[in-house]
Structure 1
C-alpha cells in the first residue's frame, strides 16, 4: 500500500471522491510477481492504480473489488495455477496469491480514504507505517507516523486506535489487556525494523476474531490477523572516492532506495558536476567524517560503506573506523594483491580477524565486471544479495537459467501458516 501513495494525489478517482476498494496481497507461495503487502486500488468505474501480478489476475480482482463495493463486505480470493483448466484465472508462473479485498468506507472503524490521504501526505524520506486488519471478522487501519520509535504504551492515540482495530471494546479488561500486550510485543519489531509482515493473534476464549460468539463444537476460531507495512527513512550509502566508479555507483545505489553521500578529501574531485546528483557531497578526510557521523548518531545498522578510493592513506584509517562500527556492509575496491596488503595493514593496526571477516574485499559479486558501470552493478548485486540473506532468504549468486525448481522458495505466507514473514499466534 505504501508504494501507491506517491501516485494517489494524481489519481482522479481519489481526487473526485469516487467509491474505491483496495486489494492487497496477504499470502504468497512459490514464484509470484509481487510480495506480501502489495496493493491495488480499484474505483467504482473500474479504474485501477497499481498492480498485483503484472496482469495475470488483475481482471478477476477488479471484478471482485466491484462486487465488494456493491455489497459493502470484505472478501478473500485465492489464485494459483491450474494445469487442468487452461482458461482458469491464475498465475502462469506457478505461484499462489491470497488477495484481501476491502471497500473504502466512511465508518470510523473502517479503512477510509482519509487514511490513505494521510499516508500520501508523507514524503518518501519519512518514516511511516500502516497496520490493517485483514481477517474475515475485522477491517480498518491505523497509521503510525514514527515506526522507528514505536512503543505502544507511550502513544495514547495509537493505543486507542489499535484497541478499536482489535475489537477490544467487547472484551473484559483482563482479556483486552493480554491481547493488547501480545499485539505490542509482535508489532514493535516489525514497525521499528521497517518491515512488512503478518501478525496473528489467538482470539480470547469464547470469541471469534474478537467478536463474541456462542460456543460451537465445530467452530475453529480464526486468528486476528494484522498486516503491517512499515517504512523507515532511507538507509544511507556512503561512497568514499570521487572517481569514475563512484560516479557510476551513485545513481545505481539511489535506484535501490539508498540516501547516497559522496565523500572525498580532495575538493577538486568532490566538486565535479557529475556528483551533483548525490543526496549529499562532503569534502573531508573519510575516516574523520565517518567517525563524526557515527558520534552524531547518523550511522546505524542499515548503513553501507563503499570504499572506492584505492589509496592506502585513505583506505586503511577509513576501514579501521568502518569495521569498528555496526554497519550493514563494508566493501573496498582493489585487486587481490591490494586486498592482501590491506589485510596486513589492518591487522597491524589492531583490527581483529573477526572484524576483517565482515570486509567485502575485493568489493562486489564476481560478474566479470570491468567498466565503472559494470562494477556498480556488481556492487549493488552484492548489496541486494546481502539484504536478502539478512531477511532469511537462501541466496544463490548464480544464473537463474542454471537453477532448478521455483525461483522463490517456501510455502505460502498467509493467515493460516507461520512462515518467515509473519509472526505466530501468541
Structure 2
C-alpha cells in the first residue's frame, strides 16, 4: 500500500472514501510482489496496480463491492482458479489480495493516513496489518516508528500489539516488506494470524573500510541481512568492482575523508578492516563521534591496545572509546573469511537486538525480545555506549577467530 502513499495521502486529505487492495502473497510467476496496491474510490477512480494489468478489472470490481458493504475480504487469483483466464492471470502465478475499506467512519483511517503521510514524506515507519485471520481482524492496522512509538492496533490484545510492533521494527531496521506469522495471543507460535508489514524506510547502510578478502565475505553476508553495502579503500588497485561484485558501491578515497562527506544515521554500521594505523586512527576518530549503530575494528589484541592508545592521544575520551567493538566480532573460533564475516554479523545483530551472544542452550533469556527489552529503546545507557550498542558479553566474547589473529 505504501507504494501509492503519495496519492493515498491526497485522497485522505480530500476526505475521499475508498477501498485498497494489497498483494499479500505471491506464488510462482507474478508481475508484482507483496505490498503492491490498487485503490478505488467511490467514483470508481483507480490508482496503483496489483498485477501489472492481469487482474486489475476483477480487483477493481471487488474494491467497489468492499467499499459498499464495508467488510474486508481476502481473494486469491491464479491458475488454480477456474476463472483464471477470465480475470486475465495467464502468466501462471497465484496472488492473494486483501481488499479493505477506508471509509469516513473507519477506526483505522487515521492510522492509514499517518502511514501514507510518513511514506510520502520519506519518513521511516512500518505499517503492520492483519491479512489472514478472523474476519473481524482483517485490515486492522498498527503504525510503528523507529523510536518505538506506535499508533492504532490490530483489534486484539495488548500482547498482540506489542509482538506485532517488535516484528515491525525488526523489518523497519532492514527496510524490508514481509509477512509474519504469530498467534492471536501475541506469542510467536505460527498459525493464528498473518501480518503484512510494509516499511517506508530505505535499507540501513553498512560501510566496510578496507578492500581485503575478509571484506568480500562480509559484503555478501551484509547483503543477505538487508544492508546497502559500501566498500571504501584509498588503494585503487584493491577497491575495484571486479573484486566486490556484491557491493552496492565501491569507493576509492581515504576512509576518514569519505566518512566525513557521506550520509550516516542511527542505523548505519561501520566495519573497519584495514588494521593499519595510518587509515584506522583518523577514521575511528571520526567514526566514534558519530551517532551510528555500530563501530567495529579488526585486529589482534596487540593491535587493539596500540590503536586505543593512539585514539586517546588523538583526543577521544572513555565514553567514545567504549563504543568501539575491537577486536571485531563474537568469539566463534572463526578462521576463514566467511566464518569471520559470520562472527561480525552475529555481533551486529546482537548489538541491534539486545542479544547476549551466549548459546541459548542452558540459558533462560528470551529468544525473541520485544522493543522495550531490546537494545533499541533510544535511551542512553550507562558507561556512555549508545543504547542500540548494548551487549551482554560472555567472558570469552569479543574476538572473531580470524579477526583476532590479524596483525
TM-score, normalized by length of structure 1? 0.49
Aligned to 1:369: 334
SS in 2 for 1:270: coil
Q: Measure the CA separation in 1 of the matches of 2:358 and 2:146.
A: 35
SS in 1 for 2:238: helix
Q: CA deviation at 1:406?
A: 7.9
Q: Structure 1, residues 318-370: CA drift from partner, whole Å, max 9, x if none? A: 00110111110000000000000000000011110110000000000000011
1:282 aligns with 2:251: yes
Spell out the pairing of 1:117-128 with structure 2 (5 A cutoff): none
Q: CA deviation at 1:103?
A: 5.8
In structure 2, relative to structure 1, the CA distance for the partners of 1:43 and 1:267 (3 Å cut) is same
Q: Structure 1, residues 108-148: CA drift from partner, whole Å, max 9, x if none? A: 5789xxx9xx99xx9xx99664364899977657899xx78
In structure 2, relative to structure 1, the CA distance for the partners of 1:195 and 1:379 (3 Å cut) is closer
Aligned to 2:345: 380
Q: 2:210 aligns with which of 241, 247, 250?
A: 241
Aligned to 1:43: 76
Q: Measure the CA separation in 1 of the matches of 2:130 and 2:357.
A: 37
SS in 2 for 1:289: helix
SS in 2 for 1:386: helix
1:398 aligns with 2:358: yes
In structure 2, relative to structure 1, the CA distance for the partners of 1:6 and 1:299 (3 Å cut) is farther
Q: 2:291 aligns with which of 326, 348, 366?
A: 326
Aligned to 2:99: 104
Q: 1:130 aligns with which of 106, 127, 134?
A: 127
Q: CA deviation at 1:271?
A: 1.7
TM-score, normalized by length of structure 2? 0.51
Q: 1:408 aligns with which of 350, 353, 367?
A: 367
In structure 2, relative to structure 1, the CA distance for the partners of 1:314 and 1:11 (3 Å cut) is closer
Q: Measure the CA separation in 2 of the matches of 1:4 and 1:366.
A: 42
Q: Measure the CA separation in 2 of the matches of 1:227 and 1:273.
A: 38
1:268 aligns with 2:233: no
1:336 aligns with 2:301: yes
Q: 2:201 aligns with which of 229, 232, 240?
A: 232
Q: Measure the CA separation in 1 of the matches of 2:275 and 2:282.
A: 12
Q: CA deviation at 1:371?
A: 1.1
After TM superposition, the structure 1 stretch with the greater mean CA deviation from structure 2, 302-311 or 274-283, is 274-283
Q: Measure the CA separation in 2 of the matches of 1:371 and 1:139.
A: 48
Q: Structure 1, residues 182-227: CA drift from partner, whole Å, max 9, x if none? A: xxxxx9xx99x9479xxxxxxxxxxxxxxxxxxxxxxxxxxxxx99
Aligned to 2:47: none
Spell out the pairing of 1:101-250 with structure 2 (5 A cutoff): 104-105=99-100, 108=103, 129-130=126-127, 132=129, 140=139, 194=172, 230-250=199-219
1:360 aligns with 2:325: yes
Q: Measure the CA separation in 1 of the matches of 2:234 and 2:365.
A: 47
2:23 and 2:98 in contact (8 A); partners too = no
1:130 and 1:141 in contact (8 A); partners too = no
Number of residue pairs matched by the alignment: 263
Give the gaps of 5 or more residues in structure 1.
Answer: 22-40, 49-65, 67-101, 153-161, 167-186, 197-225, 390-394, 422-426
Q: Structure 1, residues 60-100: CA drift from partner, whole Å, max 9, x if none? A: xxxxxx9xxxxxxxxxxxxxxxxxxxxxxxxxxxxxxxxxx
In structure 2, relative to structure 1, the CA distance for the partners of 1:419 and 1:353 (3 Å cut) is closer
Q: CA deviation at 1:241?
A: 0.4
Q: Structure 1, residues 140-193: CA drift from partner, whole Å, max 9, x if none? A: 57899xx789xx9xxxxxxxxx99x99xxxxxxxxxxxxxxxxxxxx9xx99x9
SS in 2 for 1:267: coil
Q: Measure the CA separation in 2 of the matches of 1:267 and 1:104.
A: 53
1:316 aligns with 2:281: yes
Q: Measure the CA separation in 2 of the matches of 1:419 and 1:260.
A: 29
2:223 and 2:229 in contact (8 A); partners too = yes
SS in 2 for 1:269: coil
